[in-house]
Chains A and B, each alone.
Chain A
Amino acid sequence: MIRILMASIREYRRDSILTPLFVTLEVILEVLIPFFMAGIIDVGLANADMPYTIRMGVVLTCAAFLSLLCGALSGRFAASASAGFAKNLRKDMFYRIQGFSFSNIDRFSPESLVTRLTTDVMNVQMAYQMIIRILIRGPMMLIFALVMAIGINRELSMVFFFAIPILAAGLIYIALKAHPHFEKVFQTYDHLNGVVREDVAAIRTVKSYVREDHEDNLFRRISQKVYGRFVSAEKIVAWNAPLMQFTMYIAILLISWLAGELIVQEEMTTGALMSMIVYATQILSSLMMLSMVFVMIIIADSSARRIVEVLTEESSLHDPEHPVHEVKDGSIDFCSVSFSYSGDRDSCSLHDVDIHIRSGETVGIIGSTGSAKSTLVQLIPRLYDATEGTVKVGGRDVREYGLDDLRSQVAMVLQKNTLFSGTIKDNLRWGNPDATDEEMRQACRLSQADEFVSSFPDGYDTYIEQGGTNVSGGQKQRLCIARALLRKPRILILDDSTSAVDTRTDALIRKAFREDIPDTTKIIIAQRISSVEDADRVIVMNGGRVDAFDTPENLLRTNTIYREVYESQMNGGRK
C-alpha cells in the first residue's frame, strides 16, 4: 500500500527529503542550545565572566537564528511536500477514474469518490506532514538529547534508561488498548451520519407522516451510543498525560537528587544540572510526540486504504494492441451475445441475443423496465464487454477498435443524461471541440433545439447551471441529442432520450434524422410506441431476451407484448 501511495510523491521528493534534513539540523541546534545555556550559567555567571557571557550570548544568538532558519525552512518544505503529495494523489485518482470503464464506475458511487478525493486525501496529507516532520524529529531528538546527556554525566543518564522504556511501554499499551475502541467509535459515527443523511433527504416523508419524534428517538439512541463508546475510548487515552508527567517528574526528582550530591562533591555544576533537566524534558516529550504521530497514522490508515482502492482499480476495458482506427460502416451484429454485470454467467441480464442491423437502418427498441434495453445498446460503443459472444460494428468485433475511435463513431445519448455548467456552446463542443457556430446551429436544427435556444436572450451563449437545472427536461434532452449529432457518427443511439419531448417535436426530430442523416444507423429506445412506429424494424425486449425483431406492422399482428403496449397507449387520446 505504501509503495502505491509513494508513487505520487514525484516532483515533491526533493522537498520531502529536505524537510527531515532541516528538521535534523533544527534538532541538533535545539539540543546544543541548552548546552550553551549551561555554559553561560556555569562559566559566565558563576565566575562573573562578562566577556565569556557575551561570547556565549553571541554563539547562542547565532544558534537561535540558525535554528529559526532551519525550523522555518523545514516547515515550508514540509508544507509544500505534503500539499504537493496531496495534489498528486488527487490528480492520480482523478486520472485513474477518467480511465474507468462503465463497470468500474458502477462500483463506486460519485459521493464516495468525492470523499476519497477530499477528506481522505486531506487526512493522508496531514499524516504525511507529521511523518516527515515529527516522525523524524522524535527519534532524532531522543538520540541527540540522550547523547548530550551522556556527555554531561554518564551516571545520571542512567535515569533515562529506566524512564524511556517505562514511558514507551505505557504509551504503546495505551495506544493498543484504545485502538479497537476508536474503531468502534468510528463505526457508530458512520451510523449516526447515516441517520442524519436519511432524515435530511427524506424530511418531506418524515414530516408528512409526523415522524419527527420517531426520528429523534432513533438519533438520540445512536447519539448516546456514540457518547458511550467515545468515553470508553478516551477514558483510556486520559492516562496519557498523567503517565507522561509521572515519568517526567520521577526523572527530574532522581536527577536533581543525585546531581545535588554530585554538585556538593564538586563533581558537577549547577548549569549542567539544568541542562540535564532540559534534556529530560526533550527526551520524554519526544516520546509523547511519537505517540501522537501514531494516532494520526492510525486515523489516516483507513483513508489511505480507500485511496489505494481507487489507485489500484484496474480498468476492465483495454485498447487492443493494434487497434483498428476506422469504422467501415454503421452495421451492427450481435452474435449469440450474453451479458452479466457481475461477470457471473449464472446471473445474466442479457441472454443469447442474435441480431443483425444494416447500416443506415432505423431500429426501435421497446420493452418494460428491467428488460435490458439499455444493457443491449451499451454493448455497441463497448461501454461494457459482452460476457459471451461477440458484438460487431462495421463487420468487426468491437474489441478490435481503439476505444476512442469506436466511440467517436458510435454516439450515444444516455438515459440519465447530464449537461455541464457552462454555456450551451461549451456543452455542444463536447460533441466536437472544433465545431463552428454554423455546425452547432445545424445540429440543433435537427434536434429541434435551435428554436428555443435562439429565443433565449443570450442564445447559444446562455449559461447552463450545474445539472442543467435552468432548462426544462425536454429542452435538456434535445440539447443532448444535438451534442451527440455533432460527433457526426455512423451509429446514433438514443436511450429513452425523447421521453420528455412532446410527440410532435419527437416526430419532427425523427423526420429530420430520416432526411438529413439517412446513412447513419439510428437506434431508438422508447417508452412511447409512437417513437418507434415509423422505424424500419423494432426489437421487442422481454426479461433480457429478444422477444421479436420485425417491422412495426408485422409486430402489431404477431407480437403480444408489442400489441399490449400499443393498445395501452393508443387509446390515450380517444376513449
Chain B
Amino acid sequence: MKGQDTHYLRTALRLMGYVASTYKLRFLFVIITIVLSAIAGMAGPLFLLYLIDGFITPLIGQQDPDFTALVHTVILFAAIYCMGVVCTYIYNRLMVNIGQGVLKRVRDEMFTHMQTLPIRFFDTHKHGDLMSLYTNDTDTLRQMITQSIPQTLSCAVSVVTVFIVMLRLSLPLTVLTIAVVCIMLSVAKIVGGRSGRNFVAQQKDVGALNAYIEEMFGGQKVVKVFCHERETEEGFDTLNEKLFQSAAAANAYANILMPIMGNIGNMHYVLTALIGSLVSIAGIAPLTLGTLATFLQMTRSFNQPLAQIAQQSNSIIMALAGAERIFRLIDAESETDDGYVTLVNAFISEDGTISEAGTRTGRWAWKHPHHDGTTTYTELKGDVRFFDMSFGYDDDKMILHDISLYAKPGQKLAFVGATGAGKTTITNLINRFYDVQDGKIRYDGININKIRKADLRRSLGVVLQDTHLFTGTIMENIRFGRLDATDEEVIAASRLVNADEFISRLPDGYSTMLTADGSELSQGQCQLLSIARAAVADPPVLILDEATSSIDTRTEAIVQKGMDALMAGRTVFVIAHRLSTIRNSDAIIVLDHGRIIERGDHDELIEKHGTYYQLCTGALELD
C-alpha cells in the first residue's frame, strides 16, 4: 500500500509537471484566482461575525438605529463577493484551455510515441488495452484535471482559511476541530479503502464478463447451430451475478461516505455548541455570542470541503491509475535505429557512376558515408542474402536456425512449410520488424543493420495476408503506398494488378468511400487493393505473405496475372498457402521447425520425392 502511494505521488507530480510546463503563467494565475475565490467564499461566515458582533448587536434596542455602518459593510462584502465571482469565472475558464491543452498534449505524445514503438510491442499488447488508453484512461484524466484538481485545490484553500480563522477565534474549539478531523480522516480511509478494494474487484469482474461475452458473441453462429443457448446463458449468469455483487458493494461504500462525513460534521457542530457554551458560561475563555455563532458556522464551512475532498479521492485514484498506464506507454522504449546508410534518388550514367539527384528519377542508390568522411553510392538492385542467421522472439526459444540463402535481383523465392515453421518470421527480419540475434542479412551487399530503417522499409513492398484498409476513398487507400503518386499513377498501378476492373464498376469508382474493415468489398477485392498499394510504391523488393490466401482458385487466376505483372523484374519473397502459385519460383525453400530442409526449383524438388513432393500431392498437411 505504501509503495503504491509513492507511485501515485510520482505520477501525480509528473502530471502536474505537464500542466505547469505547458501553461506556466496561466496555471499560476489559476492558482491565484482559486485562492482568491475560495477566500471570498469564506468571507461569508466572517461577514456574519462582523455583522452580528459589530453592527447588529450594538443597535439592538436603540431608539433610532443608524444603519449606515451596516450598509457600508454590506457594500464592502458585496465587493469581495464580486471579486470572488469574477475569480471563479476566470479560473474555470482558464482551466478549460489548460485541461484540454494538457489532454491534447498527452494524447499527441502518446500517439507519436506509439508510432515509434517496435512491432514487438504491438505483438505483446492487446489492441483493446491500447485503445482504452485513448478512451477510458484519457477520459478519467480529463475529469481529474478539469474538475477534481480545481475542486480539491479550492477545498484545501477553504479548509486552511477556515482553520486560520478558527485558530484566531478560539483555541480550545480548534483543538476539538482537529480531533474531529482525525476521526473523519480515519473513517474516510476505512470506508474509502473498502470501496476501493471493491472497485478493483468490480474491474476484474467486468474483465471476466467482457472476455466471456466477447468469446460467445464471436462464436454466436456456432452457439445457434448447436442450440447451445441455454448453456451459454447459464455461464453468463454466474459471471453477471459476480459483477453485480462487487459493483453493488463498491458503490454502496462510495455512497455512504458522504452521509458519514456529513453527520460527523453535524456531531462536530453539537459538540462545539456544547463545549463552547460551557467554556463561555464557565468563563474560561471569553466567547461572545457572535464569536461562538461564527465558530459554529465555521465548522460547517470546514467540514463540507473536507467531505468533498474525500469524495473526490476515488476519482483521483482511478485517474492516476489511468495516467500511470498512459505514462507506461510513453516510457516504453522506441524502436532503435542506428542506421546511417540512406536511400537517395540517383542518376546512373552509362559507365556506372552514380550521382545523387534532387528529384525523383526512378532510379535509387544507397548513400553510404564512411568514417574517413567520404561517401560512396551503391545502386539499389534488390539483392538480398542471409548469412547463418538465427532468431527467436525470446532469447531462450529460437525459431530460426542457421538460415543461409540468397535472392539475386529479379529472382523469386518461395517459402513453404507448416504453421510455425518460421516463414513469416523470415519476412519480419528482412524489414527489421525484429532484429536477428545471430548472423546477418545483406541488402545489395550492405548489412541491413547499417541501413536507416525508414529507407530500408521504403525499398521493400509488403502485402500481408490480413489486408488493412483505412477509412477514406479507394484512391487514398492505394496512394498510401506512395503519398506523392498522381491519380494517373494510382490508376496505372491498379490496372497493372487487375484491380482497375472492379474499381471502375463501383458506382463511385476510385472515390468510393471505405470503412476500416472494408466491409463494402469482398475479401478478394480488399486483397487486390493492398496489392495495388504495393504496386504504386514500386519497390525493388517485394514480400508477399499469403497475399492471395482468401481468394478462391478461379479468382486467384485473375489476381495471379496482376501479381505476375507486379513481380516482373523485382526480387520477390513469397509465402504461399497454395502451392500452385509458387510453381514458377526460381527457388522454393521448404522450412521445418526453423530449419531449411529442402531447396531447389519446382522440378528439382518434385524429382527429389521429399517433403515438397508430399505437400504437392496432398499427402502432408500444410496448415
Decide if B220 touches A79 in the complex (CB within 8 Å). Answer: no
Q: Is A75's CB under 8 angstroms from B252's CB? A: yes
A193 contact set on B, CB distance < 8 A: 131, 134-135
With an 8 A cutoff between CB atoms, is B565 at the interface?
no
**Which residue of A70, A102, A219 contacts B111 across the interface (Cβ within 8 Å)?**
A219
* Known interface pairs A201-B468, A242-B92; A60-B462 also in contact (CB < 8 Å): no
B115 and A216 form a contact (CB under 8 A): yes
Leading 5 A-B pairs by shortest Cβ distance = A71-B259, A503-B618, A75-B255, A202-B468, A418-B219
Residues of B within 8 A of A44 (CB): 273, 277
B411-451 contacts to A (CB < 8 Å): 418-419, 431, 433
B104 at the interface (CB under 8 A from A): yes
| Residue of A72, A83, A117 with highest tally of chain B CB at under 10 A | A83
B511: interface (CB < 8 Å): no
Q: Is the CB of A383 within 8 A of B225?
A: yes
Q: Do the beta carbons of B51 and A197 come within 8 Å of each other?
A: no
Query: A225-259 toward B: CB 8 Å interface, digit per residue (1/0)?
Result: 01100110011001111100110010011001100
A191 CA / B259 CA spacing, docked (Å): 41
Known: A37-B273, A110-B218, A242-B85. 15 other contacts (CB 8 A): A45-B273, A46-B289, A64-B270, A76-B252, A98-B229, A196-B130, A220-B108, A230-B103, A234-B99, A273-B52, A274-B48, A277-B44, A418-B218, A431-B226, A472-B621
Within 8 Å of chain A (Cβ to Cβ): is B122?
A: yes
Instruction: List 29 A-B residue pairs with CB atoms under 8 Å apart, sorted by A's residue number.
Output: A26-B259, A45-B276, A48-B280, A57-B273, A76-B256, A79-B249, A82-B251, A87-B240, A87-B243, A98-B232, A105-B221, A201-B516, A215-B115, A224-B104, A226-B107, A242-B86, A245-B84, A252-B44, A256-B74, A270-B290, A271-B293, A274-B48, A466-B215, A501-B621, A502-B618, A502-B619, A504-B619, A561-B554, A568-B554
Chain A residue numbers with a CB within 8 Å of B247 are 79, 83, 86, 125
Contact A210–B225 (Cβ < 8 Å): no
Q: Is B552 a contact of A241 with CB atoms below 8 Å?
A: no
User: Is B480 among interface residues, defined by CB-CB distance under 8 A?
Assistant: yes
Judge whether A420 is part of the interface by a CB distance below 8 angstroms.
yes
Majority DSSP secondary structure for residues of A touching B: helix
A458 within 8 Å of B (CB atoms): no
Count of chain A residues with a beta carbon within 8 Å of a chain B beta carbon: 156
Cβ A256 vs Cβ B47 within 8 A:
yes
CB contacts (< 8 Å) of B473 on chain A: these are none
Given contacts A57-B270, A407-B227, A414-B221, contact A575 B602 (CB under 8 A): yes
Taking a contact as CB atoms under 8 Å apart, the answer to whether B56 and A201 are in contact is: no
Q: Is the CB of A50 within 8 A of B281?
A: yes
Contact digits for A41-74, partner B, Cβ 8 Å, 1 yes 0 no: 1001110101001100100110111011011101
Contact status A94-B52, CB under 8 Å: no
Chain B neighbourhood of A169, CB < 8 A: none
For residue A147, CB closer than 8 A to chain B, the reply is no
Do A209 and B457 touch (CB < 8 A)? yes
A245–B41 CB distance below 8 A: yes
Kindly identify which residue among A234, A260, A569 contacts B56, using a CB–CB cutoff of 8 Å. Answer: A260
Known: A72-B256, A238-B93. A263 touches B60 (CB 8 A): yes
Q: Which chain B residue lies CB-closest to A480?
A: B222
Chain B interface bracket (under 10, 10 to 19, 20 to 34, 35 or more): 35 or more
Complex-state Cα separation, A44 to B47, whole angstroms: 23
When the two chains form their complex, are residues B101 and A227 in contact, meaning their CB atoms are under 8 A apart? yes
List of A residues within 8 angstroms of B462 by Cβ: 204-205, 208-209
- Contact: B457 with A60, CB < 8 Å? no
Q: Which listed segment binds A: B165-173, B206-214, B320-328? A: B206-214
What is the CB-to-nearest-CB distance from B52 to chain A, in angstroms, rounded to a whole number? 5
Is A155 part of the binding interface, using a Cβ–Cβ cutoff of 8 Å? no
Contact partners of A67 in chain B: CB under 8 A: 259, 262-263, 266
Is A118 within 8 A of B240, CB to CB?
no
Q: Is the CB of B606 within 8 A of A575?
A: yes
B140 on the A face (CB < 8 A): no
Return chain B residues, CB-CB under 8 Å to A230: 96, 100, 103
| Cβ of A80 under 8 Å from chain B | yes
Closest chain-B Cβ to A565's Cβ sits at a distance in Å of 7
Instruction: Report the Cα distance A320→B565, complex, angstroms.
Output: 57
State A210–B461 Cα separation when bound (angstroms): 11
Q: Please name the residue on chain B nearest to A499 by beta carbon.
A: B623
